[in-house]
Amino acid sequence: MNSWQDIVLSISVLAFNVALIPSLVGKQKPRMTTSLITAVFLIPQVIVFFSLSLWYSFAMALINSLLWFTLLAQAYSKSKGKT
């Protein structure tokens, strides 16, 4: 059984994940530095949620970090296409 904290945290991170969808599918991408910094600084959250056995929060934070790395890859690909 999961704690209420896990549920609240996972729902809030899920909302952030959903909010990234327009950036993922749209033409405009965040700056590469923004994507990189955000993705990297989410990794400690992933580790902490895992260590506390907050499984839903862990999963949502991992997905969030992966989405930011995807945005980084998209921005990088877009920048390479301009040259």
Tokens describing residue 26: 């749209």
Task: Give the tens place of pLDDT for each residue, 64-82.
Answer: 999 999 999 999 999 887 6
Beta carbons of 74 and 29 less than 8 angstroms apart: yes
Cα gap 33→41, rounded to integer Å:
12
First to last CA, the chain: 52
Residue ranges of domains in the chain = 30-83
Task: Give the tens place of pLDDT for each residue, 11-31.
Answer: 999 999 999 999 999 999 999
Burial label for 30, CB within 10 Å (0-12, 13-18, 19+), is: middle
Average pLDDT value over all residues in the chain: 94
Sheet strands (E) in 2-82: none
